[in-house]
């Protein structure tokens, strides 16, 4: 019999798992794959982006609230979830930028911070791991650190000489970076809204994108998961402090999203199996070899 397939998605904060690759995870859960979300920090320094919850009582209990939101989102997605236990670094603002808070995630030594994730990889034994690219998807210090720690753990987990006290070695077979937005995707959604006679929320975004690099050419893998877009949105709304249910993310009608861009997109960054590109499955090349693991 083939081995049970396992996917690990490593994210910086609670809510990131619901805005990046969530429909893909829900699709694999429905197909019987074991999925574990790893959350590096507790999101203690996150903003309250829902104006209805921008209240002193919410701010006073933000860490506890964000954990409860994560538990609700986890249940909606049908995944397992684990905390690495690091402290949110916050998003520094100003010119010059202020220093990061002492002891925060982004200031940890990468080799040391990779240890807890190596332990989880050896316990859960994922075949596939997803995280952010070297820019963190966007330049939040915790997202960049999440990338560094995940890459370090991916490379160390299978090496018996590294972290020998953290369990028996296990080598994941593939590492992917989420490519949440490409210029082609934004343009497809924008043009779809205009064709439907609706105001597009992406017009200003496209103007700002003129001087930004496009990550579209980096996409190697497109997972068709539009059936699970409603699950993604329900999980995102569960992070009520982080998402305005009347805001930007929910302006595009569901059927239009499904027609305009029915996939979630990834870049294959590391692979120990043969999987010709482009792909439509994160487990391409893994399904054929998992039975031998």
Residues that constitute the known binding site: 13, 16, 143
Beta strands in 124-248, from DSSP E residues, in sequence order: 128-131, 174-178, 221-224
Q: Is 90 helix (H, G, I), strand (E, B) or coil?
A: coil
154-158's contacts with Cβ under 8 Å and 24+ in sequence apart are 154/121, 154/129, 154/270, 156/114, 156/118, 157/118, 157/121, 157/122
Whole-number Å distance between alpha carbons of 23 and 77: 8
Bridging pattern class, strands 6-11 and 128-131: parallel
105: its two tokens: 């995630």
- Which stretches of 97-205 are assigned E, i.e. beta strand? 128-131, 174-178
Q: Which residues are annotated as a binding site for Zn(2+)?
A: 13, 16, 143
Rounded CA-CA distance 168/186 in Å is 44
Q: Are 66 and 14 in contact (CB under 8 A)?
A: yes
DSSP-H helix ranges across 54-93: 56-60, 62-77
User: Could you give the CA distance from residue 55 to residue 72 in angstroms, rounded to a whole number?
Assistant: 21
Determine contact, residues 17/46, Cβ cutoff 8 Å. no
């Amino acid at each position: 019999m083939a081995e049970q397939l396992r996917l690990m998605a490593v994210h910086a904060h609670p809510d990131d798992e619901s805005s990046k690759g969530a429909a893909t995870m829900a699709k694999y859960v429905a197909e019987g794959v074991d999925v574990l979300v790893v959350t590096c920090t507790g999101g203690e320094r996150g903003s309250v982006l829902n104006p209805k919850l921008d209240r002193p009582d919410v701010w006073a209990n933000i860490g506890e609230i964000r954990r409860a939101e994560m538990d609700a989102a986890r249940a909606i997605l049908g995944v397992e979830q684990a905390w690495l236990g690091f402290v949110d670094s916050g998003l520094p603002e100003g010119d010059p930028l202020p220093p990061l808070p002492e002891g925060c995630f982004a200031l940890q030594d990468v080799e040391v911070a990779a240890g807890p994730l190596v332990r989880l990889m050896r316990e859960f034994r994922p075949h596939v791991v997803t995280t952010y690219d070297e820019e963190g998807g966007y330049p939040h210090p915790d997202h960049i650190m999440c990338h560094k720690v995940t890459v370090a753990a991916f490379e160390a987990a299978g090496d018996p000489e590294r972290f020998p006290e953290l369990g028996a070695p296990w080598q994941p077979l593939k590492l992917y970076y989420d490519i949440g937005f490409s210029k082609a995707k934004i343009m497809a959604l924008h043009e779809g809204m205009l064709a439907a006679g609706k105001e597009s929320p992406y017009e200003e975004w496209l103007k700002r994108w003129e001087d930004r690099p496009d990550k579209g050419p980096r996409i190697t893998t497109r997972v068709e998961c539009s059936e699970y877009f409603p699950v993604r949105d329900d999980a995102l709304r569960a992070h009520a402090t982080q998402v305005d249910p009347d805001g930007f993310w929910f302006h595009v009608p569901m059927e239009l999203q499904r027609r305009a861009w029915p996939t979630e997109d990834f870049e294959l960054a590391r692979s120990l199996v043969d999987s010709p590109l482009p792909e439509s499955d994160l487990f391409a090349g893994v399904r054929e070899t998992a039975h031998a693991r």
